[in-house]
Structure 1
Amino acid sequence: MNQNQVNIRKYEAADHNACMDAFKTNVPKYFTLEEVNEYEQFLAKLDNPEVLDNPLYYVMELENKFIGCGGIGEKEGIDGIPSITFVWGMVHNESHKKGFGEQLLQFRLGEIKLHFPTKKVILDTTQFSYTFFAKYGFKTLKITENGYGEGMHRYDMVLDESSKS
């Protein structure tokens, strides 16, 4: 794979259907069926320029073909401290295991460093993805069994400060 051909850009309303398609390819392994509607509502807010509290959301393409999407946004951490988190990140299942998730993660970490250099970086994910984030310096703070639904455990994680440099 030639990484130079990967393009990550800001989400546009025209990306709505491609993002929904990618999301659905990750159900039920990475997202629950119930989350399909939540994600649709999230995209509808992004599609509305009147909404002022939109997170920074991005689309990843390779040779003009949609690969994945994900963003960052502000969120209160489980310790009550305002933090930055990842927002609805995913790679279309046809593009799994090709390094795109890592590129999207590194891009978002770069955006956090640029826009929010002093904030703590947190995320929540499932038992199916937490090891991916652990490879990049995220430490598990809390595990909630069935936190997203039956059989989907929630892992609350924080980026080790020594990994941010």
Structure 2
Amino acid sequence: MKIINYTKIFREDCIKIFRSNLPKFFAIEELPLFESFLDDDTEENYFVVKTDELIIGCGGFFLDPKNNVAGLSWGMVRADYHGKGIGKAFTQYRIDLLKKTYPAIPYKIETSQHTAEFYKKNGFRTIEIVPDGFSEGIDKYTMMMDNTEA
């Protein structure tokens, strides 16, 4: 497993990864948002996971200076690679980068009921649940990690 910086040449791979996670983890209505994100918001701090010359994951992190919070953005692993520890390792990689880059502020993620427990095991706690917040049947969990290591 190798983690490298995202460039536009990986756009279609990332869209395929997104589609592989439909409809359980993402709603089809979110695809235009993700495509726009890939086109406009990935200059830095977005990565892909490569193994055997295949792109099998993507995800990044962000800073929201207005709300003094940083967090994880659009993280996903190709569905046929779930359960192999790739998501865990990739999430830890991004959390480590957050701690190095933004050491003194809390971290946020917006996720669903399907992955909230995964992020809980990685140190996040749920602060809000919006039923059907992403789409019908996909609740929106807002989770925070209090970064007290600074």
- Relative to the length of structure 2, the TM-score reads 0.93
| Cα RMSD for the two superposed structures | 1.8
Residues 97-140 of structure 1 deviation map (CA, whole Å, 9 limit, x = unaligned): 00000011011011101111112111110000000000111111
**In structure 2, what residue type is equivalent to 1:75?**
D
Q: Contact 1:144 / 1:153 at 8 angstroms: preserved in 2?
A: yes
Task: Give the structure 2 partner of residue 161 of structure 1.
Answer: 147
Structure 2 unaligned spans of 5+: none
Residues 1:161 and 1:119: Cα distance change in structure 2 (over 3 Å): closer
2:102 corresponds to: 116
Q: What are the superposed Cα offsets for residues 39-83 of structure 1, whole Å, 9 maximum, x if unpaired?
A: 111111157xxxxxx45100011132211000001237xxx7320
Cross-structure match for 1:70: 59
Number of aligned residues: 150
Gaps of 5+ in 1: 1-5, 48-53
1:17 is aligned, of 12, 30, 44, to 12
Q: Which residue of 2 aligns with 1:51?
A: none
Higher relative contact order (CA 8 A, sep 6+): 2
Selected match of 2:88 from 83, 86, 102: 102
The CA distance in 1 between the partners of 2:47 and 2:147, in whole Å, is 24
3-state SS of 2:28 partner = coil
The residue identity in structure 2 corresponding to 1:30 is F
For residue 20 of structure 1, report the CA deviation from its aligned partner: 0.6
CA distance in 2, matches of 1:14, 1:106: 25
Which structure has the larger Rg over C-alpha atoms?
1
The one-letter code of the counterpart of 2:38 is L
Q: TM-score normalized by structure 1?
A: 0.85
Map of 1:71-90 to 2, 5 A cutoff? 71-75=60-64, 81-90=67-76
Per the alignment, residue 31 of structure 1 pairs with 26
Q: Give runs of ≥4 in structure 1 deviating > 6 Å.
A: none
Structure-to-structure mapping, 1:121-136, within 5 angstroms: 121-136=107-122
